[in-house]
Amino acid sequence: MNLRITAVVAAGLLIVAAILLAPRKPAPSEQQTEAPAPSASESDFETQIVEVKKSLDAGSLASLEFFEEQISRQGSTNQNQWFDSLSNFWDRQMRPGIAAEYVYRKAESTNSGNDWYNAGSRYLGISRFFEEQDRMALIDKAIFCLDKAHEIAPADNAIKTRLASAYVESGKDPMKGIFLLREVIEQEPENIDALMNLGFFSMQSGQFDKAIDRFKNVLKIDPSLTEVRIYLSEALEASGNSSEALNELEKIKKSDADSFLLAEAQKRIDAIKNSTN
């Protein structure tokens, strides 16, 4: 479970991740058709599935009903492939909340650490696109799933890192998350995922010097992670070092980064120059 890129995605830089994870803005006739927060009852979920079906074209509806029929026919040990089919179907429909529910149901069926990890990651990812009450419900569900994964595979540092992120984002027990990340770093000093998350958390708490050190450490380990320079420049600017922040952004401009990253670097360069003039 390599979270190297996921850690960066989680901070919102990669626009593709936002497109895949963000709940689709409903048309007026589709209001309230996204899957409810995890605290909703089974009947609420099924009711909203019925509403969403009304917006599907005939071909998509036929595929969906085929998958649902297979679920109802199969015994508990044979359902898992159809849970995958249903989650993939709802991903294609840009309905990540519904897709996450089927990833969760698969985890319940298999009780696999990997499946609980996937379910928790889903809920944590989509939580960033919801308002506070729903966001907290989704983070709580993520913690529940990731705790399950951690119980099954307590030595898995990828699970620890993702669980730590959920704890910190929940705001209820952030130090538990920080301790988990430190535990990962003690075992793997060059774990990029843990270092990135610690860098983000240092930024959130205003500890910019620590964030700078952690982002620089990541770049020493893997200089190809050009996107990390965006976060490093942000930490440098926040600490009052605008000139070094500009240097980092200029390094991105001289790299073979994708067009989105290049445009983001230029936007930040312009903003820094305007603020210092």
Number of H helices, E strands in the chain: 15, 0
Q: Is the pLDDT of residue 113 over 90?
A: yes
Structural domain that includes position 49 = 4-205
- Based on the domain organization, do 193 and 237 belong to the same domain? no
Yes or no: say if 239 and 209 are a contact pair by the CB < 8 Å rule.
yes
Domain match, 59 and 144 both: yes
Reported as a pLDDT band with limits 50, 70 and 90, residue 174 is confident
Per the structure, the count of domains in the chain is: 2
Q: How far apart are CA 138 and CA 247, in angstroms?
A: 39
pLDDT tens readout for residues 186-199: 999 999 999 999 99
Residue 12 has pLDDT above 80, yes or no: no
Residue ending a domain, among 180, 205, 230, is: 205
CATH assignment at residue 242? 1.25.40.10
Residues 185, 50 share a domain: yes
Same domain, 128 and 142: yes
- Residue 251 and residue 197 share a domain: no
Note the Cα 211 to chain centre separation in Å: 20
Of 5, 63, 55, 65, the closest CA to residue 26 belongs to 55
Average pLDDT of every residue of the chain:
84
**Lowest-confidence region among 16-25, 46-55, 213-222:** 16-25
* pLDDT tens-digit readout, 227-259: 999 999 999 999 999 999 999 999 999 998 899
- Contact in structure between 53 and 61 (CB atoms under 8 Å): yes
Domain match, 162 and 211 both? no
Q: Which residue has the tokens 């850690």?
A: 7
Query: What letter would DSSP give residue 47?
Result: H
Report the predicted TM-score, pTM, of the whole model to 2 decimal places. 0.74
183 and 261 in a common domain: no
| Residues whose CB falls within 8 Å of the CB of residue 206, separated by 6 or more in sequence, listed in order | none
Q: What was the pLDDT predicted at 250?
A: 95
Cα–Cα distance measured from residue 218 to residue 212, given in angstroms and rounded to the nearest whole number = 10
Question: Mean of the pLDDT values across residues 124-144?
Answer: 91
- Based on the domain organization, do 113 and 154 belong to the same domain? yes
